[in-house]
Amino acid sequence: MSLTVAIVGATGAVGGEFLQLFSERNFPVSELRLLASKNSVGKTLNFGGNPVSVEEATTTSFEGIDVAFFSAGATRSRELIPAALAAGALVIDNSSAFRMDSEVPLLVPEVNPEAFGPSNRLISVPNCTAILLCVAINSLRTLGKMERLIVSTYQSASGGGAAMMHQLQEETRAYLAGTALPASKLNHQYAFNLFSHNTAIGADGYNEEEAKVIEETRKILGMPELKINVTCVRVPVLRAHTETVTIEFEGPAPSVEAAREVLSQAAGVRLVDNREENRFPTPLDASGQGDVLVGRVRQDVSNPNALSLMLAGDQLLKGAALNAVQIAEFALKLA
């Protein structure tokens, strides 16, 4: 198989990860088209040892494209995806544009492969926080019915894209040098600080990120009535998100030993749970690799029906680009 592949948003933080993943996973790219905004036209990115020029993404960019990966935000996805579908491409969208559309699969291949059908030409990649959460807890569903999730997130700058990563780096340099911090679009200092996730707050008091995690987790797990409470916080970490999770079951919680056993066998999960050496998931360990690290597995001493754990995963990889490439591999295998 050889494919003509397009990346929309090629110059962004997630776009750059696709190029490395194509090489690492031997994704069958025969021709690569890098698409971005008008401002990026003329830039070159390296793929397979060769420079590839960036072109402007327009509705006429998709003729002859077999697979189009979108990572340029919801507005651009809504504008351009109809043209990509009309041109016959398989479209995998990292934005929120179509995630809650009942006709569009919201896919994490390790968790809900049954959501995809061969007739699906548009597939959504879930919110990064929801992906990591679902990969981490999915195998535990074999041990009992989940009734409620209580989730706290510690989200890195990578979730806000290349610009936010740059902001954190520049603020940190300035703070350590004792100079004025650079201008910021955030309402808070980022270096050596943490704050509620920088998305709008709804009438119910939940921000947009928290709402996405709640809605998308229910859709991915096929549990529309699952009770979920989420608090999303931005922390001064460059890359990879961390989450703490308490899972309340319908009856008594499974034993820690049983939970560790199923987690150790779960696809996409690496158990990091060493109490003796106090070694548990960290964003540094999670960065640059595709597994979701899971540890701190323990009984909730306040509730015999609950189990708690901690997870960390690379937001740019399993939370975005890697999940998208895995979807393409899965879809093309079934096509």
Whether residue 139 is found in the same domain as residue 257: yes
Instruction: Residue 40: give its domain's CATH number.
Output: 3.40.50.720
Instruction: Residue 232: give its domain's CATH number.
Output: 3.30.360.10
Q: What is the three-state SS of the chain?
A: CCEEEEEECCCCHHHHHHHHHHHHCCCCEEEEEEEECHHHCCCEEEECCEEEEEEECCCCCCCCCCEEEECCCHHHHHHHHHHHHHCCCEEEECCCCCCCCCCCCECCCCCCHHHCCCCCCEEECCCHHHHHHHHHHHHHHHHCCEEEEEEEEEECHHHHHHHHHHHHHHHHHHHHHCCCCCCCCCCCCCCCCCEECCCCECCCCCEHHHHHHHHHHHHHHCCCCCEEEEEEEECCCCCCEEEEEEEEECCCCCCHHHHHHHHHHCCCEEECCECCCCECCCHHHHCCCCCEEEEEEEECCCCCCEEEEEEEECCCHHHHHHHHHHHHHHHHHHC
Separation CA 19–CA 32 (nearest Å): 10
Whether residue 75 is found in the same domain as residue 138: no
Whether residue 330 is found in the same domain as residue 282: no
Number of structural domains (the chain) is 2
Whether residue 46 is found in the same domain as residue 151: no
Tokens 């998305």 map to which residue? 199
Q: What does the block give as tokens for 152?
A: 């706290």
**Bridge-based pairing state of the strands 90-93 and 67-70:** parallel
Tokens 């059908």 map to which residue? 117
- 166 counts as catalytic: no
- 232 counts as catalytic: no
Confidence at residue 334, expressed as pLDDT on a 0 to 100 scale: 60
pLDDT in tens, the chain (335 residues): 899 999 999 999 899 899 999 999 999 999 999 999 999 998 999 998 899 999 999 999 999 999 999 999 999 999 999 999 999 999 999 999 999 999 999 999 999 999 999 899 999 999 999 999 999 999 999 999 999 999 999 999 999 988 999 999 999 999 999 999 999 999 899 999 999 999 999 999 999 999 999 999 999 999 999 999 999 999 999 999 999 999 999 999 999 999 999 999 999 999 999 999 999 999 999 999 999 999 999 999 999 999 999 999 999 999 999 999 999 999 999 64
Confidence at residue 1, expressed as pLDDT on a 0 to 100 scale: 83
Q: Residue 225 burial by CB count (10 A; 0-12/13-18/19+): exposed, middle or buried?
A: exposed
Whether residue 185 is found in the same domain as residue 229: yes
Confidence at residue 173, expressed as pLDDT on a 0 to 100 scale: 98
Between the alpha carbon of residue 144 and those of residues 33, 97, 137, 149, 247, the distances in Å are 46, 33, 12, 13, 10
Give the Cβ contact number of residue 98 at 10 Å.
20
Separation CA 104–CA 257 (nearest Å): 37
The catalytically annotated residue of 134, 197, 232, 241 is: 241
Whether residue 211 is found in the same domain as residue 328: no
Q: What does the block give as tokens for 289?
A: 């690799």
Whether residue 209 is found in the same domain as residue 239: yes
Whether residue 113 is found in the same domain as residue 183: no
Separation CA 310–CA 122 (nearest Å): 32
Whether residue 238 is found in the same domain as residue 195: yes
The catalytically annotated residue of 128, 134, 197, 232 is: 128
Whether residue 104 is found in the same domain as residue 219: no
Domain that holds residue 83: 3-126+320-334
Q: What does the block give as tokens for 16?
A: 């750059």
Whether residue 108 is found in the same domain as residue 157: no
Whether residue 149 is found in the same domain as residue 280: yes
